[in-house]
Amino acid sequence: MNLKATTTRKLLVGAAIFAIVLSACSSAASSAPSAAAPASAEAPASAAAPASAAAPSVAAVPCGTVNIAQNAWAGYYANVAVISYILKNQFGCNVVVKDISEQIAWQGFPTGEVDAILENWGHEDLAKKYITEQKVAVDLGPTGNQGLIAWFVPKFFADANPDILTAATNPKILNNYAAQFQTSESGGKGQLLDGDPSYVTNDEALVANLGLNFKVVYSGSEAASDKAIQTAIDQKKPILAYYWEPNWFSAKVDMVHVPLPPYTPGCDADPKKVACDYPPYVLNKIVSTKFANSGSPAFTVIKNFNWTNADQNSVAFDIAENKMSYDDAAKKWLDAHPDVWKAWLPTP
């Protein structure tokens, strides 16, 4: 065989082998997924693994630090406990709780020291200053809690002296009982027991303007007032006390509201001339404008936060009476009410 023929045959065999290999590669490529094919932009819901309840949710904007003002009553503690638990465990927020009186808390909005007040009782003057005029705060609407501030006596006393409940039309009827309400701190007058001096109160003006022979005595705290009320009831002694709702303590004591001349819009416009009962309070949430514009998931949770007096009282009772930690009291309520709190979360 000459060289030319040999070469020709080798070329023909090589071409045949190359064709076989090429055919095999093409067949394999057609049966494999294309490397260039883009992945689906949205996986089917059934394919997504459920997020762990204990793991933080993924948020478009990191939560970061949230500064929450905490005012000194158990109902407010309940708000803080539940909101803090959700923010920490669902979104990985760093929650900083600051014990501060309700009026002073507003001063933290322009400085950035306070991001949120979770339960505001009126304060129209502060709302005008910080929301309307300075525009450093925003009203996020109601918490769902209906607030009441009023004077109360034990039910046994009201039952024995029903005319005390006519004070709405005849406030000086209270003077008939001043001697029975007298204490060592009231200076020969009847005692009207108030709580923390920082609480919303018109009581000193009311006593003066209604012509009552009483002296306002401050217990100093919610706990001290509760103790005084409980002691009076246990000993069947009369007591007239500034009291409010929602209030977990109402589950332990039977108190009756002593109505004063009815509230009408504007009757409390001048704090020194107030001679009417307290207004109804639709409790609301206030946040700083900076926080409202932050995009943080914490803002959405606080904005959507809405529950009942009974909800708040149950958490407050566990904190104040059962001595549960904030986290334990919050988790107990959250576990029992998933349909309520999950509605507060940002939508995907």
The last residue of a domain, from among 252, 273, 294: 273
Residue 59 predicted with pLDDT over 70 = no
Q: Is residue 23 part of a domain?
A: no
The whole-number average pLDDT for the span 65-92 is: 97
Residues 163 and 266 in one domain: yes
On the CB side of 106, how many CA atoms lie within 13 Å of its CA?
Answer: 22
Is 70 exceeded by the pLDDT of residue 47? no
pLDDT at 165 over 70: yes
Tens of pLDDT, residues 181-234 = 999 999 999 999 999 998 999 999 999 999 999 999 999 999 999 999 999 999
Instruction: Give tens-digit pLDDT for 109-136.
Output: 999 999 999 999 999 999 999 999 999 9
In this structure, the answer to whether residues 151 and 269 fall within a common structural domain is yes
Domain hosting residue 264, numbered range:
147-273
> Domain holding 254: CATH number?
3.40.190.100
What local confidence, expressed as pLDDT, does residue 48 receive? 33
Asked if the structure places residue 52 within a domain, the reply is no
The count of structural domains within the chain is 2
140 and 175 inside one domain: no
Q: Which of 249, 273, 297 is the last residue of a domain?
A: 273
Mean of the pLDDT values across residues 3-20?
38
DSSP codes, 46-60:
GGSPPPPTTSPPP-S
- In terms of Cβ atoms closer than 10 Å to its own Cβ (0-12, 13-18, 19+), residue 110 is middle
3-class SS of residue 210: coil
Q: Please check whether residues 159 and 239 belong to one and the same domain.
A: yes
215/291 same-domain check: no
Please, which residues have CB within 8 angstroms of residue 210's CB and are 6 or more apart in sequence? 171, 172, 174, 260, 261, 275
